[in-house]
Amino acid sequence: MINTVVAGAAGRMGGRIIQMIEKSGEITLSGAFERPDHHSIGKDVGQVVGLANMDVELKGDIKEAMEGADVLIDFTTPESTLKNFRFISKTGQAIVIGTTGITSEINNELNHLAEKIRCVIAPNMSVGVNVMFKVVRDLSRILNRGYDMEVIEYHHRLKKDAPSGTAMHLAKILADTTGRNPDTDLVYKRKGFIGVRRDEEIGIQSIRAGDIVGEHTTIFAGVGERIEITHRAHSRDNFARGALLAATWIMEQPNGIYDMQDVLGLKENNNV
């Protein structure tokens, strides 16, 4: 059994991951923690996430929670993830990160620290979304001339970052495979008399409404036709399930940073 700790255990994703761990036959919950001022610190984490007692106390400190653990699963905030990553880089334990909104500066530090540990970082842990990444990559290679490319993402009204990490990754795939510049060719907003669309543009639009779990659409629009690739998340279970798959997989890998494409074996013959 893999001893797993969940960061942000009282949050929406943290709670769902713990519920999925409870059903798992390969992973056990050995610890859980939240920010030190959280009102549930000291309670049994099973009660916190709506389960029976699990004999695991919700801690307010990563050091206490990680004692005897093999891997940390972190779906928190960029700042908290960096702090947790720094701790793990000193202990040598493994970490799985599904946090979104990570800046390039934080990402650079994560890449540097990851030389010392095993880590899976992915903007989206869903198996279906990662298959979508591969399909979009293949389509963009074929349709790189004469087709306009747009990314539209929908999420719940409480999501704090925009565009989503998944939308940004889709846009990066489109830019990388078509030789476009992410700094100049990504368009996040259109308003007023903007003129004719440039061929190099990759549009990214964000919708925030209601309780939408997550939806991403990539559009390839040519003259007389268009192709749309859409993934809709019906619940957070698919993200949690992917995180557990990554936590199991990473235990057998050498030190370094990996993503869900590695976990799922989708990088074969893929140079991007």
Catalytic residue, chosen from 59, 155, 169, 216, is: 155
Whether residue 269 lies inside any domain: the answer is: no
Q: Which domain holds residue 20?
A: 2-121+236-263
Enclosing H/E stretch for 30: strand 27-33
Positive or negative, the Cα torsion across 172, 176, 177, 179? positive
Token pair 């964000």: residue: 206
Whether residue 172 lies inside any domain: the answer is: yes
Whether residue 160 lies inside any domain: the answer is: yes
* Burial classification of residue 33, based on how many CB atoms lie within 10 Å of its CB (0-12 exposed, 13-18 middle, 19 or more buried): buried
Q: What's the pLDDT score for residue 236?
A: 85
Whether residue 110 lies inside any domain: the answer is: yes
155 catalytic per annotation: yes
Closest by CA to 170, choosing from 186, 191, 184, 156, is 186
Whether residue 271 lies inside any domain: the answer is: no
Catalytic residue, chosen from 116, 159, 172, 267, is: 159
Cβ count near 15 (within 10 Å): 21
**Cβ 162 vs Cβ 208: under 8 Å:** yes
Q: What's the pLDDT score for residue 199?
A: 94
Closest by CA to 129, choosing from 102, 101, 95, 168, is 168
Give the CATH number of the domain where residue 74 resides: 3.40.50.720
Same domain for 40 and 116?
yes
Cβ count near 68 (within 10 Å): 10
Six-digit token pair at 61? 């400190």
Q: What's the pLDDT score for residue 268?
A: 60
Instruction: Indicate if the pLDDT at residue 271 is higher than 80.
Output: no
Same domain for 134 and 225?
yes
**Per-residue pLDDT reduced to its tens digit, 203-230:** 999 999 999 999 999 999 999 999 999 9
59 catalytic per annotation: no
Same domain for 114 and 143?
no
Q: What's the pLDDT score for residue 242?
A: 94
Six-digit token pair at 17? 């991951």
Going through 139-224 in order, the beta strands assigned E by DSSP cover 148-155, 186-187, 202-208, 214-222
Same domain for 40 and 143?
no
Same domain for 208 and 258?
no
Same domain for 170 and 222?
yes
Same domain for 48 and 89?
yes
Same domain for 146 and 175?
yes
Q: What's the pLDDT score for residue 270?
A: 47
**Per-residue pLDDT reduced to its tens digit, 6-61:** 999 999 899 999 999 998 888 999 999 999 999 999 999 999 999 999 999 999 99
What string of DSSP letters covers 41-65? TTSBHHHHTTSS--S-BEES-HHHH
Q: What's the pLDDT score for residue 139?
A: 97
State the pLDDT confidence band at 269, using cuts at 50, 70 and 90: low
**Per-residue pLDDT reduced to its tens digit, 68-127:** 999 999 999 999 999 999 999 999 999 999 998 888 899 899 888 888 899 999 988 999
CA distances from 115 to 77, 175, 187, 260 (A): 22, 27, 34, 18
**Per-residue pLDDT reduced to its tens digit, 148-178:** 999 999 999 999 889 998 999 999 999 999 9
Same domain for 59 and 144?
no
Residue 210 falls in which region: left (phi positive, over 0), alpha (psi -120 to 50) or beta: left
Q: What's the structural domain count of the chain? A: 2
